[in-house]
Amino acid sequence: MRIFDPHIHMTSRTTNDYEAMYAAGVRALVEPAFWLGQPRTNVGSFLDYFDSLVGWERFRAAQFGIRHHATIALNPKEANDPRCREVLSEIPRYLLKDGVVAVGEVGYDSMTPEEDEVFAQQMQMALDAELPVLVHTPHRDKLAGTRRTLDVVRESGVPAEMVLVDHLNETNVELVLESGAWAGFSIYPDTKMDPDRMVSILSEYGLDRMIVNSAADWGRSDPLKTLAAGKAMLAAGFSEDDVDRVLWRNPVEFYAQSNNLILDPVPGFQPGEPPAAGVEFEGSSVLRGPRK
Ligand SMILES: [Zn+2]
């Protein structure tokens, strides 16, 4: 099974996770910029984080044979803090960097006027940078939040096929598919969505524009939930080709719209061997190993 995890926060994960993910078939992933749990108090805190997403974490993933990409945005939760909103003027330059494949996560948390404004501004940035957008749907009031999200997408002028609406469930999948956007599902240990519910949704709505992720972060989560979803699909009678479509070809097709995906094997990587210190990447100087 080859796996592209289209939403996982590796900054919060360990090297054991990277090794287990490689063994499970993960060869590429996307790490969206999000909030850190602890609120940020200034713009510099965002910039160091963005730099680590496009630099250090990309290097770290490559040491374990995994191609790392990022999405960059001011997340909906921190859009409500005036100290954080100043980062908006810095975001366009990050959208040009190697390995940045979308604007995200954007969307709604509590659906405040501030969130409206920041969401719309970042949709415009995606339009200007010709990048796809990763949209987070709120945990509370999901259906209303999804409706409003899709309205903002329509008004933005960003084509629906350039938008992935994430953290969906049985209540809002139809709405998203009808809009022409891609539908993302986060498989979590005890909330959101589990592998069996995921299989039921795929049986009901088909595999078109369907994307599955682990969304693993600093909370209780599991970076191998993508594999679990693939196994549950096989057990339910889906073919290997169906699994490949959902776990690899679909997310690749979506993020390839950025023209910034790298999917070939990491040069010099040997599974099971200690990470090489100086793995180098085409077209990037940030990604040389740390000096010891
Ligand atoms: Zn996330």
Q: Which pLDDT belongs to residue 282?
A: 45
Predicted confidence at residue 277, as pLDDT, reads 59
Element (H, E) at 114: helix 113-129
Task: State the distance from the centre of ligand 1 to the C-alpha of 178, rounded, in angstroms.
Answer: 23
Concatenating the DSSP letter of every residue in 10-76 gives: GGGS-HHHHHHHHHHTEEEEEEE----SSPP-SHHHHHHHHHHHHTHHHHHHHTTT-EEEEEE---T
Distance 273 CA to ligand 1 centre (A): 30
Residue with tokens 């010709």: 130
Among the listed residues 261, 240, 194, the one whose alpha carbon sits nearest the alpha carbon of residue 185: 194
Q: Percent of the chain having pLDDT more than 70?
A: 93
At residue 139 the predicted structure's pLDDT band, cuts being 50, 70 and 90, is confident
Question: Which chain residues have CB less than 5 Å from ligand 1, an ion?
Answer: 34
SS3 category, 105? strand
Q: In whole angstroms, give the CA distance from residue 96 to residue 260.
A: 10
- Angle (CA) 178 183 189, round 5°: 140
Q: Residue 289: what pLDDT? A: 36
Q: Where are the beta strands (DSSP E) in 108-251?
A: 133-136, 163-166, 182-186, 210-213
Q: What's this model's pTM, rounded to 2 decimal places? A: 0.93
**Distance from the alpha carbon of residue 213 to the mean position of ligand 1, in angstroms:** 10
Residue of 89, 77, 81 lying closest to 42 (CA atoms): 81
Question: What confidence score (pLDDT) does residue 82 get?
Answer: 95
For residue 104, the CA-to-ligand 1 centroid distance in Å is 9
Predicted confidence (pLDDT) per residue in 271-284, tens digit: 877 766 555 554 44
* Average pLDDT estimate for 6-34: 97
Distance 282 CA to ligand 1 centre (A): 28
- In this predicted model, what pLDDT tens digit does every residue of 193-213 receive, in sequence order? 899 999 999 999 999 999 999
Ligand 1 mean position, distance from CA 291 (Å): 31
Q: What is the pLDDT of residue 9?
A: 97
Phi, psi at 210, each rounded to 5° = -100, 130
CA of 85 relative to ligand 1 center, distance in Å: 19
Ligand 1 centroid – CA 237 distance (Å) = 30
Distance between Cα 10 and ligand 1 center (Å) = 10
**What mean pLDDT do residues 60-65 have?**
96
Percent of the chain with pLDDT over 90: 88
pLDDT over threshold 80, residue 55? yes
For 81-116, what is each residue's pLDDT tens digit?
999 999 999 999 999 999 999 999 999 999 999 999
Distance 186 CA to ligand 1 centre (A): 9
DSSP 222-238: -TTHHHHHHHHHHHTT-
Average pLDDT value for residue range 35-50: 96
Å from CA of 268 to ligand 1 middle: 30
Q: Lowest mean pLDDT: which of 90-99, 167-176, 249-258, 281-290? A: 281-290
- Measure 134 CA to ligand 1 centroid, in angstroms: 10
CA 283 to centroid of ligand 1, rounded, Å = 27
Mean pLDDT of 215-238: 96
Instruction: State in Å: Cα 90 to ligand 1 middle.
Output: 21
pLDDT confidence band for 137 (50 / 70 / 90): very high
pLDDT of residue 256: 97
Q: Which of 123-127, 204-208, 213-217 has the lowest mean pLDDT?
A: 213-217
Ligand 1 centroid–CA 198 distance in Å is 18
pLDDT of 41 above 50: yes
DSSP annotation of 167 reads: S
Average pLDDT over residues 219-245: 97
| Distance in Å, CA 34 to ligand 1 centroid | 6
What is the model's pLDDT at position 279? 54
Which candidate, 54, 30, 154, 39, places its Cα nearest to that of 104?
30
Ligand 1 center to 36 CA (angstroms): 10
Give the pLDDT of residue 285. Answer: 37
- Distance from the alpha carbon of residue 256 to the mean position of ligand 1, in angstroms: 20
